Structure formats: structure tokens, C-alpha cells
Amino acid sequence: MAYRSLEECLLDLEKNGHLIRIREQVDPHLQMSAIHLRIHEAGGPALLFENVKGSKFRAASNIYGTLDRSKFIFRDTLKDVQRIIEIKNDPVSAFKRPLKNLGAGLAAIKALPLKNPVSKPVLFEEISISALPLIQHWPMDGGAFVTLPQVYTEDADKPGIMNANLGMYRIQLNGNDYILNKEVGLHYQLHRGIGVHQAKANRLGRPLHVSIFVGGPPSHAVAAVMPLPEGISEMTFAGILGGRRFRYVYKDGFCVSTDADFVITGEVNPGENKPEGPFGDHLGYYSLRHNFPLMKVHKVYARKNAIWPFTVVGRPPQEDTSFGQLIHELTGAALQEEIPGLKEVHAVDAAGVHPLLLAIGSERYTPYAQTKEPAEILTIANHILGTGQLSLAKFLFITADDENMLTTGNVGAYLEFVLERINWKRDVHFYTNTTIDTLDYSGTSINNGSKVVFAAYGEKIRMLTDYFELAEKELPGIDYIKMAMPGVAVCNFRNFTDYETAIIEMKELDEMLFPYLSRMEGIAMLVIADNADFTSDSLNNFLWVTFTRCNPSHDIYGIDAFTENKHWGCNGPLIIDARKKPHHAPELVKDPEVEKSIQYLFEKGGSLYGY
């Protein structure tokens, strides 16, 4: 249905058994996020906090907590959105089947934003930042953050809503050196549209006008995370997905979403930054304190009976996982249409999304050749790493499956397929001294690190084994070895100190294992870890530890390694040093005292009894 407000959506969820109200007073300092995490882990419903300590406003979370709930919210528009995307990819089909596509055409009418002739609900009252639910999510966070913001900016060269950008960039409301009610922190990462807008404003010597929308119809939040091509307005997508045109007005020169629950307007002046963070982020670690743009607050608005939506991110899977799943449902094969030869691509949520990307391509360059080896998939890999946010991928595994039996969705089976075929002498391709995800601390500094492509194609060259033949007593320095999956052994090793020492340690390990190469034919990869038990305990643990704690250029080694004409390879198993490094960010850990303080809500008589 076409929700006119966030409250309409929440009432619909409640009516259909998808929401619970929390009547008791709850502290926004750590308690609300702890409750959210516990309910999300249990696969529970959306939450409406009716009594937020220190604020007159209600708050809601876990709204998009499962894919089924997200699909329920957009049940009346999903098919139309999917069809519109299909038509864009294949416009000829619209002419061949006009009646079938009539609904999609009518839905597209909702794309055009609607400028309101008069002020609407969000301008009901003017408030201050301190009146908001100031939610601190993790113990080491630098303050309270907005975690479901819709950050609106316009192009200085082409002003207006049709060339605007709407993105979800976290906002720090207080703490650090920010002057409460006058300044907030604006964090954004690489490859974000707001960066283009700020660069243009800076070049002209103008402040960048920023409007932060919070709440409103749920389609607005999804639009803010939708990876649309540069130059396409997210507001048009919000209208189609929500089944209702995006409504706005200009106030004091700032664009205001008149259906939002809250709007914060302000300016970012060229060269004005302040330290932002730390913040417990979606890789499962804190992103640390760094200088990011400073936004001078102009005004803060709230609608009558406004509701503050929030989410909590942490080690995946969390609520933002459902955003990714919903986007995949909506876009279908859109990316495959953009990249010739690409059949599937999967950003692995368990590894924090950007650290690990799996892809399946085609091999059509040399069908006449008797030897199968990577060719077209190398071209596809370069295209992937040059496409939008896919360019942030740190590890890219890519293969081709002539029988079309493989899928990236089954991560374990996919990795086994690749490890059975990968030739470490030929199939490792590094990109050094390049950009990586802002939130990834495995690199040499913020935004800087390396990437690697593992491109495998051909017949099996090894039969993976699920045991490691060598005993720990044969390998001095290794406490014990556990298998994470067939062909992948995890070795418990001494703590990492520095890279100079690590190079010596890996050389010693190479010399120690080289005589046993014939006994390791079924082992494709060795992972060096601080805790082999934890790393090998589940596939998700293996993915998270291995790919979030490794900088490819610095942390990949190999048994009997060599460099030939600038190409690196190894004759034995690949080694990944996935130990914690001194420059890595701390892991997210729940506070036991906070967990105790919310227990009464889950006991008999509490609002969350039974969860």
C-alpha cells in the first residue's frame, strides 16, 4: 500500500503481527540498541519504543529486519518496480507486450516528485538536536548517531530535485568537539554521490546545502541506499517504490521532504572538518575517529507525533542485510545487463560486503582452444572493479561454469569449486596502492590498501581434503590446526607484532612446509589466525576473520612463492595472514551490564516476554 507516513507503515505492521510496542521507559544510551540487537538475532518483529528517556519522541527499529517483512511493506509495488527495471534493460519487450507492461507504465507516473504549494506536516514545529532521541549504539561510540538518515544534496551546476542525490551517510549528533544544537558530523565514504556535489560546491567557493530527512514513508529510506547510476534522482525511485510521489517544499533555500518525520537542514563550508567517530559499523568493528565534513545546523523540524527510526549495525548479519537482499530482489539481472559476460555477482554479507565479492562470468574468447584458462573473466573482473560501489571490493573471486550449475548464493560450494581449479602460479592478480572501503582498517591508512583477483577456470587440478595430514609437532610455532572447510586449514599462530617480523615468520613457515608439499595436495589454502577454533567453527566465522583482517598485498604469502616478470605466484598452498594487526580497529563487543539492565523486558510481564 502507499504509505503516507512512517506511522501508517508501523500501524500496518502492528495490525499484521509484525510489530511490538515497548511501553517501559528505555534509555537511548546503549539500552535501545541492545534491545534491537537481541530482537533482531531472534528474528523478531519491528519495535516501537513509546517511552524514550530524555525525549518526547517515540522511536522505531527493526522495521526492515527480515526480507519477508521488507517485501510485505512493499507488497503492492515490488512487481511494478522489478518490471520497470526490466523494461529499462530491455525496452523492446515493452513494445512487444504493451498490456503486460501497462501497470509498470502507470506506476512510473509516481516517479515525478511533487512540489507542495503549502507547508506540510514536517514543518509542524521547530525543535533542537538535543530534543531528539540521542541513541548511542555501542560502548565506544563517540556519541549519538542517525543510522537511517536520508541525506539530500543538490548539484551546484544543475540545481533542482531531479539532479539531486539522496544517500544514507551516518550523522553524528553530539559528542567529540561538536557544539550541541549547532554542529553535526557528516560521514561519507568513497564512491558516494554527495562527494561529487561537495567537490563542485568547494570549487565554486560556496557552502553545500544539506537536508537530512529522517523517517517518512519507508520507500524513502530504501531509495537512500539504492545504488542508482549517477545523475538519476533517488526521489524518483522513492516515488515508484512507495506508490506515492515524493513530496517536497523549499524552506530558507533548503529542500524539505514534507512527508519526513524530522528534517535537519544545514551547510557544509569548504575546508571545514571535525573529528567524527568512533562508530560501531557493519564490518563488525569500530570505524575510528577521523576528520569528516562539519555541518552547521540551520534548523530542525518535526511533524506532529513524529517517530524516530533507527537501526543498529554490527558484525553481519544485521538489519542492513535485509536492505541488500531487497535491492537484489528489485534489481534482478540489471548488473548483468551492464557488464557483458557477467552471470552473477554476490557481495558476501558475512564478510562485511565490500571485503569479499564472488562472481560468475563467461568464457567465450577462445572456444576453439583445447586448454581452458582464464581470459574473458579477467576482462569481466576489471569491469566489476570499475563499477560503482563494486569497485570497493577487496577480494574478488571469479570463475566460469560451462554447465551453469554453480551459483554465488551458495558461498561454501562456490569457494570449493574455485579452490578445486585455481592455479596459484597463474591465477592471482594484485592491485596494489589503491583505494579500499573507508570502513576497512586492514589497509595502510584510511581509504588506502590493496585488492586481489582470484580468477579460476578449467578442469579440477586438486581434490580438496577435509583433514590436514601433518601433526602440529612437525610444525614448530603452530599450536594446532583446524579445517575451516575442505581444502582450507586454519593454523593457530603466535600474535602478530609487525610486518618485518611477519615476513620472517612466513618465510620460516614456507621453509618448514616446503618438504611436505606432496602431503598437502588436497590443501589449497592456509589461514594463519589468532584463534583457529573460532575461525573454523563456522563458514561465517571463517569468512569474517579471513577477509576483514587481510590486506592482500601485505598479508598474502605462499608455499614456494616466486615473482616472475612482475607476476607473483606460488607452487604450493596460498597463505593468508588473518591475524589481528596493531592498526586494526577494535571488534564490537556487547556490554554485559547493559545486557543485564534490559533483561526485565524479556521476563514475564515485560513488553518483550517470550523473546
DSSP designation for 245? P
* Residues 6+ away with beta carbon under 8 Å from 364: 341, 376
- Is the bond preceding residue 317 a cis peptide, omega within 30 degrees? yes
The pLDDT value given to residue 94:
39
Cβ atoms of 547 and 540 closer than 8 Å: no
Would you say the C-alpha torsion 431, 432, 434, 439 has a positive or negative sign? positive
Four-residue CA torsion sign, 484, 487, 491, 495 = negative
Q: What are phi and psi of 89, to 5 degrees?
A: -75, -30
Q: Is 506 exposed, middle or buried (0-12, 13-18, 19+ CB in 10 A)?
A: buried
Ramachandran class of 15: left when φ > 0, alpha when ψ lies in -120 to 50, beta otherwise? alpha
DSSP string of 317-349, one letter each residue? SSHHHHHHHHHHHHHTTHHHHHSTT--EEEE-G
Helices (H), 167-267: 193-203, 218-225, 234-242
Residue 378 to residue 269: CA distance in whole angstroms: 43
Domains contained in the chain, CATH given: 6-310 (2.30.110.10), 320-456 (3.40.1670.10), 472-577 (3.40.1670)
Say what the pLDDT of residue 132 is: 98
Distance CA(163)–CA(78), nearest Å, equals 24
C-beta of residue 212 within 8 angstroms of C-beta of residue 263: yes
Q: 226 and 260 in contact (C-beta within 8 Å)?
A: no
Strand 574-577 to strand 556-558: parallel, antiparallel, or no bridges (unpaired)? antiparallel
d(CA 325, CA 347): 11
**Residue 232 to residue 469: CA distance in whole angstroms:** 56
Chunked mean pLDDT (size 10), the chain, 611 residues: 94 98 98 98 97 98 96 92 68 43 61 81 94 98 98 92 92 98 90 82 92 97 82 84 94 95 97 96 95 97 97 95 86 76 94 95 81 92 91 96 92 98 98 91 93 96 90 70 95 93 94 90 96 96 98 97 97 97 96 97 94 91
Distance of CA 434 to the CA centre of its chain: 20
Length of the chain: 611
- Cα–Cα dist 469/128, whole Å: 65
Are 344 and 357 within 8 A, CB to CB? no
